[in-house]
Structure formats: structure tokens, C-alpha cells
Amino acid sequence: MQNMGGEQVTEAVAHAVSALAVGTGRDWAGTKAGGLEWSCRSTAQHVAGTLIAYAGRLATGARQRVSFDTVLLDEADNTAVLDVLTTAGALLAAAVATAPREARAFHAAPFGSASREGFAAMGVTEVLLHTYDIATGLGVPYEPPAELCGGVLERIFPHVRPGHAPWPTLRWATGRGDLPGRAPLTDWYWSNDLVIPADGLTLQGVTPAAAADLAAGGSGGFHWIGNGPYEGEGAGEAGTRVAAGMMRQTYEAGTHRPEWGMFVLVRAEDGRAVGAMGFHGPPDDEGRVEVGYDLAASARGNGYATRALRALSSWAAARDDVRTVFGKTDPANTASQAVLTRAGFTRVPAEGDLHLYELPG
């Protein structure tokens, strides 16, 4: 799995500065940046200010919006503007590189916070898109590395079906270009991972990039306890890796919705991942949504699954589009039945061999 961290921020900024350097002799203040209303100069100022704001939020763990006003002096020429952009990129790269894995800070879209990886991905995206805007306005060529584009798509655009070429896909996903077979976008958004707190745990949303790594035998970027993640037992039981592979398939099909995907259960005491839990997809037309879960063998018997299921099902049941949260379990799996019961679910009549448990929304 490709990292999304300080090195990627530095790479994106360096590539942008190199591309824009050929246009420093042109009128940045009097030229609009592509399809934006801003000038090329004010767009560069916006990027620098955003990178600094991201660095400040992440470094301090800000729980509310922290804004900075980056001002370019009148005497600063276009080369100096690029120096400011390089400096701002270095500040964000340093903040990302030194932040603990579990660090989160405020970002409104869409779930209220972002991790260090999220801030890196957002910073890279700001640089890529607005460099394209500036380059378009100045009439200079620009195409960022495909790996950087693919990295941000897999982390903060989980709702966007990937294309064969990451850069055109990212431009389309942000309303900056057409893509064959897809309708043009006039409104777009990115999506950081959802984190749901539980008693002594956090349920951390799995990105498509992490899902691919887990399915391939990697860690997904999580620090697992010794015998995790759970691999499943027998032909009919899916463990974390199989579930991650299934989530990855929905992403590649363009049907993945991050809030209805997969979460890894992380202990607050040591940051270790102990299991996985999530939904089998968004609610159906009747407002029914199914949950599933597993734990690494050495993590069982500590109440982790019960506490996590209470938090996840409560989050789902509180939504207007959910009428019922339900889970199915094999009749012989008494441990899973106990988890459902302790989490507030009630067994109801079911067709077939599986036991059915429901929690009203």
C-alpha cells in the first residue's frame, strides 16, 4: 500500500513548483486560474494558506476550525510566491510526519475530523487541483504523477469509481474535466474516514487503499495484535481479509459508501487493532441494514465486540434512513448470539437456517 504522508506532500509541492516555474514571467495577478474566479496569484496564496492551516490543526489536534490569513506582500514576485508555497508544503509535511498515528483534528467534510493521512491527502489534492487551475490560466503544461492522483482518490474519494487513468479521473471527480461514460459533475466533495467512539475503543473507517492492502495480506496501515487480523474459520466464514476484499470490490464498482463500509476496532489504551466490524452495504429500500463483525482470537472475552456493536448500531439506528439494524448468525455460534443480545438486539423469526437478530431504528 502506497503511503500518504509527508513525503507525498513534499513530492506534490515540488512537482507543482517545477511546473509553474516556467510561467513566472507572466501576469499572475491579472490572469484567472482556469475556471476559477480567483487570479493565479490569489489561487497560489489560497493553497499556501490551506497547507499552513492543515499543519496548524494537525499539530495542535484542533477540535474546531483554525483559520490563517496568508498575505503575500505587494513586492513579492511570482518566484517568491512559489517559495511561499514550498514553505507551506514543508510545514504540512513536517506536521504529518511527526503526528502520532491516532492523532485527529478538525475538518468539516464530511464527518468532522481527519487523521494525519487525511490531512496529507487533502493537502496533496489542494496542490494538484489548484496547480492545474493556475497552469491552465497561464497556458503552461501540467500533469502530476499518476501515483499521487491514485493515492488521494483511494483515500478521500472512496465514493468515486476508479478509472483507468487516475489524473483524468481526479479532474472529473472535482468538476475539472470530462470522463467518457460519466456525466459531468457540477458539485463534488471529498470524504475523510468516519471514526465512531466506543467504550475504550474507536471504530476507524477503512479506506479503499487500506482494504486493498488488507485483502492482499497486509496490515491496512493498522497495528494489529499478535494474531490479527482474523482470517476466518472454515469455508463458510469470512474474516477481516475477505470482508476487506468485498469492500474493495464495491469501491471498484463505484457503489461503495464509506459510512456503510468496514471499520477496524482499535483499542484506546495502546492503539492496537483487535478486530473488524461493519455493514454489508447501505440501508435497503425498507431501511434495513445488516451488520457483521469478527475479532482476533486473543482479543475475545474482553467485551470488545459488544461495546463496538453498541456504538455502531446506535450510530446507524439514529439515522433517518435506517428503520432496522440486523445481524445473522449460525445457530452454533453462541458467542456471536451473546454479543448481539448484550448489544440490545432481539431474536426474531427468520427464514432459513440462520438466526436473525434485530434492533429497531
Domain membership of residue 239 (yes or no) is: yes
Residues 145 and 43 in one domain: yes
Q: Is the dihedral of CA 16, 19, 22, 23 positive or negative?
A: negative
Final residue of a structural domain among 143, 173, 203: 173
Residues 167 and 29 in one domain: yes
Residues 203 and 167 in one domain: no
Residues 229 and 327 in one domain: yes
What does the alpha-carbon distance between residue 44 and residue 24 come to, in Å, rounded to a whole number? 12
pLDDT, position 71: 86
CATH code for the domain of 65: 1.20.120.450
Q: What is the pLDDT along the chain (361 residues), one digit of tens a residue?
A: 668 999 999 999 999 999 999 999 999 999 999 999 999 999 999 999 999 999 999 999 999 887 777 888 889 999 999 999 999 999 999 999 999 999 999 999 899 999 999 999 999 999 999 999 999 999 999 999 999 999 999 999 999 999 889 999 999 999 999 999 999 988 999 999 999 999 999 999 999 999 999 999 999 999 999 888 998 775 456 799 999 999 999 999 999 999 999 999 999 999 999 999 999 999 999 999 999 999 999 999 999 999 999 999 999 999 999 999 999 999 999 999 999 999 999 999 998 999 999 999 8
Residues 203 and 348 in one domain: yes
Domain membership of residue 292 (yes or no) is: yes
Domain membership of residue 229 (yes or no) is: yes
CA distances from 115 to 64, 151, 220, 225 (A): 14, 15, 15, 21
The phi and psi torsions of 146 (rounded to 5 degrees) equal -60, -35
How many domains does the structure of the chain reveal?
2
Torsion-angle region of residue 319: left (phi > 0), alpha (psi -120 to 50) or beta?
A: beta
Residues 346 and 230 in one domain: yes
Task: Determine the structural domain holding residue 212 and report its residue range.
Answer: 195-360
Burial bucket for residue 334 (CB in 10 Å: 0-12, 13-18, 19+): exposed
Domain membership of residue 189 (yes or no) is: no
Residues 84 and 151 in one domain: yes
Residues 166 and 256 in one domain: no
Residues 269 and 143 in one domain: no
pLDDT, position 69: 76
What does the alpha-carbon distance between residue 54 and residue 206 come to, in Å, rounded to a whole number? 22
The phi and psi torsions of 272 (rounded to 5 degrees) equal -90, 140
Q: Look at the block and give the residue holding cell 476487506.
A: 244
Domain membership of residue 186 (yes or no) is: no
Residues 214 and 330 in one domain: yes
Domain membership of residue 181 (yes or no) is: no
What does the alpha-carbon distance between residue 126 and residue 60 come to, in Å, rounded to a whole number? 21
Q: Look at the block and give the residue holding cell 456504538.
A: 311
Residues 253 and 106 in one domain: no
Burial bucket for residue 1 (CB in 10 Å: 0-12, 13-18, 19+): middle
pLDDT, position 238: 73
Torsion of CA 280, 282, 287, 293, to 10 degrees: 30
Domain membership of residue 180 (yes or no) is: no
Final residue of a structural domain among 116, 138, 173: 173
Q: Is the dihedral of CA 327, 246, 230, 259 positive or negative?
A: negative
CATH code for the domain of 206: 3.40.630.30
What does the alpha-carbon distance between residue 312 and residue 355 come to, in Å, rounded to a whole number? 20
Residues 291 and 159 in one domain: no
Domain membership of residue 185 (yes or no) is: no
Final residue of a structural domain among 173, 203, 218: 173
Q: For 111-174, give the secondary structure using H, E and C.
A: CCEEEHHHHHHHHHHHHHHHHHHHHHHHCCCCCCCHHHHHHHHHHHCCCCCCCCCHHHHHHHHC
Nearest-5° angle of CA 30, CA 36, CA 41? 40
pLDDT, position 235: 46
Write out the three cell numbers for 221: 496501515
The count of other CB atoms within 10 Å of the CB of residue 153 is: 25
What does the alpha-carbon distance between residue 358 and residue 324 come to, in Å, rounded to a whole number? 7
